[in-house]
A and B are shown apart, each in its own frame.
Chain A
Amino acid sequence: GNSVTQMEGPVTLSEEAFLTINCTYTATGYPSLFWYVQYPGEGLQLLLKATKADDKGSNKGFEATYRKETTSFHLEKGSVQVSDSAVYFCAPSGGGNKLTFGTGTQLKVEL
């Protein structure tokens, strides 16, 4: 089955710093790739996605590029804000419309 490796958190950054959260995966075939975000006390919501190799997903200043050759989908943002503090999950798709979630990376942004 699929598996996902995310960098461990928590990641603590100052406001306006550059963010990278690494994600690598193993999967059969050509999965779609998703990043979800979970704000405190809430469920998960989709942040961005990419459906084929070299696609770049982007939303709210976050970006991630589908790298088939390195089986990676690293999340980046050029300038984080305090409001970006949340837990971020990487998830490749599997068979039957299922997703495999990573363990999540907690981001804390301080003033």
Chain B
Amino acid sequence: DVKVTQSSRYLVKRTGEKVFLECVQDMDHENMFWYRQDPGLGLRLIYFSYDVKMKEKGDIPEGYSVSREKKERFSLILESASTNQTSMYLCASSRGLAGISYEQYFGPGTRLTVT
């Protein structure tokens, strides 16, 4: 079974802190994704990576950055956390072959609260 793990289930940070959310997948997937999930808004894509060191902005990248130094690990960074970044953050991974849409496998999520 594919496993996607996230470093924390719950996190509480203060406004202005730098926050790192880590995601690791064990299936050698090319693609990795970071989403945030908010009530009434569904899932919105923050960033997407299709290879090591490669990244692409999603729909809501402002206030976030990402890092992918190894194929299995994809980090989301909040440079200076703000209260409007309080949310559930979901990481996902999938195979990546041009022209084919593979299913995404999700981690359990990190509920981040910024006070």
Task: For B35, list chain A residues within 8 Å (CB).
Answer: 101
Bound Cα distance from A90 to B94, whole angstroms: 17
* B contact face: mostly helix, strand, loop, or mixed: strand
Q: Which residues of A contact B (CB under 8 A)?
A: 31-32, 34, 36, 41-46, 49, 51, 89, 93, 96-99, 101-104
Contact of B109 with A103 in the complex, beta carbons under 8 Å:
no
What are the residues of chain B within 8 A of A31 when measuring CB–CB?
101
Which of A34, A97, A98, A103 counts the most chain B CB atoms within 10 A?
A97
A49 touches B103 (CB 8 A): yes
**Which of B101, B105, B106 counts the most A-chain CB atoms under 10 A from its CB?**
B101
Instruction: Tell me whether B101 and A93 are in contact (CB under 8 A).
Output: yes
Identify B106's interface contact among A44, A102, A103, CB under 8 A. Answer: A44
Of B42, B45, B104, B109, the residue contacting A104 (CB under 8 A) is B42
Q: Roughly how many angstroms separate A41 CA and B111 CA in the complex, as a whole number?
A: 10
Contact with A along B64-92 (1 / 0, CB 8 A): 00000000000000000000000000101
- Pick the residue among B56, B90, B100 that contacts A43 (CB under 8 A): B90
On whether the beta carbons of B50 and A97 are closer than 8 Å, the reply is yes
CA distance A42 to B104 in the complex (A): 15
How far, in whole Å, are A44 and B94 apart by their CA atoms in the complex? 13
Chain A nearest CB: distance from B7 CB in Å? 14
